[in-house]
Structure 1
Amino acid sequence: MITLEEFNQDFLQSILSDSESRGLLKAQSFFELVCEDLMQVGDLTNNYTMAEFIKTGCEIYGYDYDEGRRLLTLINFQFFQESYIETLTKQQVNTKFKRLKKFAELSMAGLYSELEETSEAYAMAYHIYRNMYNKLIDKIRLVVLTDGKVTRSISKIPNDFINGIDCEHQIIDIQYLYSIFMSENGTGPYEIEVNIPYLKVHNASSEYQSYLCIMDGEQLFKIYDEYGQKLLEQNVRTFLQFKGGVNKGIRNTIQYKPDMFFAYNNGITATATHVETKDGYINKITDFQIVNGGQTTSAIYAAKKNSKIDISNVSVQMKLSVVNNVEKKSEFVSSVSQYANTQNKVNKSDFFSNSPFHKEMKDYSKRIWVPAHGGSQKRSRWFYERVRGEYLNEQAYLTPVRKKQFQIENPKSQLIEKTFLAKSENSWNRKPYIVSKGAQYSFGEFATTVTDTLEKNQLAITESYFKDAIARVILFRTTEKLVSQADWYENAFRAQTVTYSIALLSHIINKKKLFFDFVRIWKEQRLPDELMELMKVITKAVYEKITNQPTGAANIAQWCKKEECWKDVCNIDIDLKSIRKMFRDREEVKYVQKSEKQQKELDKGIEVQAFVIQTSKENWIQLYGYYWNSDNLRSLTITQRDILKKYTDGKIPLPSEKQSKVLYSLYQKAIKEGWEVLNS
């Protein structure tokens, strides 16, 4: 198991690597990495924005606004950047909170009018002022981030008031970040206290235990008010407001027929890893996740929060499934989500966590070595991290020698997370306005694009795609570094400048019907000098364009989220002559793509045949029994039945590739339906 000290060392290395590769200050990297983690677990929303303002008595580095909960979050930090874990003292905590509070008070008094309109601080101060003026803030949360450990003398910080608005305080220290890591790796639960009547459901499965429960509206409201998106972090839906017919029906029932809500509504489906019960009531739930019914939950919350509708007579049925094997929690939750969500149309991209894309990227990252460059004799790979913590987790039980070897072969500077990959790919796919909406929103768009690609052609993720994708990551990181070091850069809107610059390069290349050669970047693991010089020209032109938004447009950060901004940037004219050697012939590109797909199809066919032959005959006999003794037999075609029967009877000693594909698909189909191989 990873200790807190080991986690701290790895976390610090992540910051140093990120800072160096992207040209950021270490403190900026620390702030970004922590906030990304908080977004993923629901402590911050997709509206989170970084913005810095430091003045006598004031200090703030970012803010977030949760529209559903009408919660404003203001963020400060204390970064020690020590190899050992420092202690955050009570005095330091009080100072950080006092400076945040001062900024909130000044912003509500109209601070934005004194700031430069092209600064991120202006957008932040104006956002706070506008929401305060329109009475859209019910609660303020002051947050201090730190890589230290909060002093034991601080057990709880009492709530305060800012301009009559309830204000709470939260400290995110290294212990809290460690708990997020442990939770994502199946060992760090969080608990909620409840008082819910239940009926235990009898079932023969050893994988889970189910309960039928009834939760009243007020209790559901309080849970969501406290935990917010954390309850829905693995749910496939977000609240759709009261737009669709289903959601309007939910609101009407809450308002006009609350006593009929239980009869009309399908309720919620939830998962957990543990429950505690007493006298017919569940009083504690560990790792509570609402996997179906996010709309119901949010609608009940919004009805009381926004519309002041009485929800005391609302009763909600809940099917709660408790997984017995914590290590299979993610897989279990994902499967329950997929099969439970049937009320509204759910895109397959919503289940992207189960996509073959991740497996393909992981497989390539494990077997493809980076070309030797810069005189280095060390062999290394790019490490694809689907879930934050995988990199550290793979080293958990290695000996010191093996651990050192792992880090040489998988250097921290070559670690790539799925959200960063999404940002890089969306930029090259000419969607900078999507990237500007935030990491999670960008990832959702990327998931949709990849899912569509995989549905059309399952062989789309080839070795060339992997190498090109890494080259685009190098392009993105290098561009970040160029912007950070530019003499014209004023420490604002770097993220928007980078994504728009890469998108503009891609746009011009695409417009001229050229094919960019990423192979050279992959081989050298850096940008050629001529491309570096061109990106300096592009980034400056883009920065000047986006920071001079049209009259009447929203602030710069909001303007960059609009497609109109992208159309405006597309008008920038850039000469590509300096990088003419970096384009490939159209026919060459098509030939390489065709060859790779043929090779991949061949490899896939061999893998399927190997699986069928290596799986024991006893398993195939059990599979045949599963189909024969259930209604599923009628779902099989005559060909499928014939091949399965002949293979189990020994009449097909060595199945062909086509026969193997049929047998493999039947095997996987049965597993998805809940079939398990019984050990003899």
Structure 2
Amino acid sequence: MSDLIESELDTIIGYGKKEKNKTLTREHAFVVLSLQYLCYQKANIDDVWDEIMDTNFTDSKSDGGIDFVYFDEDESEVVVGQNKYSDKITSGQARAEIRKALETLVNFQKTSTSRYAATLRQQLQDALDRLADESDGNIHLMFISLSNLTQSSVVSNLDDRSVSSIDVVNADDLENIILKTQSDQELVPAYTLDLDKAKNFLAYANEKEEGVIVNVQSDSLVRLYNVHGTKGLFNLNIRRYIRSKNVDDGIKKTLSKRRDEFWFLNNGLTIACRDYEVDGNRLKLTDFSIVNGAQTTTLIATHNDQDTPAFSVPTKVVMPALSSGKIDLMNFFNDIAEATNSQKPIQPRDLKANSPEMIRLQELLKKNRIFLEIKRGIKVPKKYNYHIKNDHLAQLLFSFVNQHPGTARSSKRSLFSVDKNYKAIYRVGYDRDKSKADFLVDLIQLNELFDQIAPIFRQRKVDITPEELIIFLNGKPVLFALFGVIYRLVNGDVEISDLLDEKSSFEDKFVYGAFIRHYKNDDIAERLTDLITELLGLLADAYLTELDRGNVTSVSNFFKTDKKYVNTIVNAFAKKYRISSKMDELVEQYGVLFKRE
């Protein structure tokens, strides 16, 4: 057994007993450990305990071979895990466990779920329902154990059509991720790599940076990995531990059968460093990290056939042209890491990055010390108070103003790809109308306040039920849509009766103007917290009613469409607050946050 993993398990068990009055077996602690490091990538269990226990942990009787469920928002992917706290698991036993989990996923696709535990039904269904149409079926299965299993020895002969990928994680893999997450060594201090031959390089420089393209020998790269693989080599490229099966298979095929063509078939590596020197057929590096190419390096270093001749790996090395302190150096590294890792398929928001309205909006917000990110991979200057991405802002606007939280949550791409949606969000002349500009700034400030108080909900430092926590974790667009309803009501733009009138089209009635900036008291966070708590109670009641009637399968399913929002959620809101005393209380307590002047 790994001493590091055992020590981490002791920490988790001790924390649960002392801080949460909860006793965990080592098997259950191993599930928590896997989530903490493989999914959340947090070194402190206190940061993720509540969320793990409330929304991820499913290990129990009748769990269908699935010990945890995690939704990766960045990848729009459901991650399910099967854990075995044992170093004696065989490949055949691992395959049997994986088949059990695969069968469970197939049964959920068929809605044949009655045999499974309630916790699994709730959490897995909720995660599956969060997948948008374009990412439907994007499910990643992880098998984690302490046994010395390899990917190839386990996944062969498995029918994996119900998932997008399968990952086998052994003790060494898990230990490496723990070390990377905990490591405070940001860089490799020094190392010398072998090149293919002397004087075979291409150099380039400008006033700020300089660099060189060389051919690093693969055996030299393996030695570097063996010494520094967990000590700074990839620290600027840490992500959730998840392999890309298609890329892995392509690199492995090249390593096995076409090594002499590796230079032509692989994009190679990017190394950022404080300094470098090409000396004959040697490359001397100082204070460096591989910022792009961790997957390639790892596969080269861990490939089974290491006895074959070395081959060349194309490598770009970059450094700042002028000597700089540690902070400036790390900023330089971050710029390189972001730029070289942002070469992803073009998204609809990318196509709008250079549009006139987007550029004008960015300039408008800059004047209010808000940085609007309209291009991916751009580093946020420190001089701004707030930072928001244009796709996130689009979600807020489409929820608050246009009252379409289902589309905002489930089909974010359509906010840019569907012209009608994009026009309603961004082609409204914010730069030509002060009231619209003021409203936009205040909406961003409201979002910032929401994000600041979000941790107290995630960690259940407020009195909410497990269902209300799940609603909070899934329901930000719906909450902002209800904020938009309250904004309309307190300013007299609509009446409560309009919300119950199917012909009123209340969502089309919107008057822009400054609002939250007018409230000057220092209890603003407390007021918003109380409002969110009240709305969570209303949403939970409406959700449980729909669930009992068989109209929805999960919280995510409840929030998925705009029609459900208008017909069920807005209806429930209107029926509660049409009582004059309730409406008066709502306006008195929370109207001051949304009142225009």
Q: In which range does the TM-score fall when normalised by the shorter chain?
A: 0.3 to 0.5
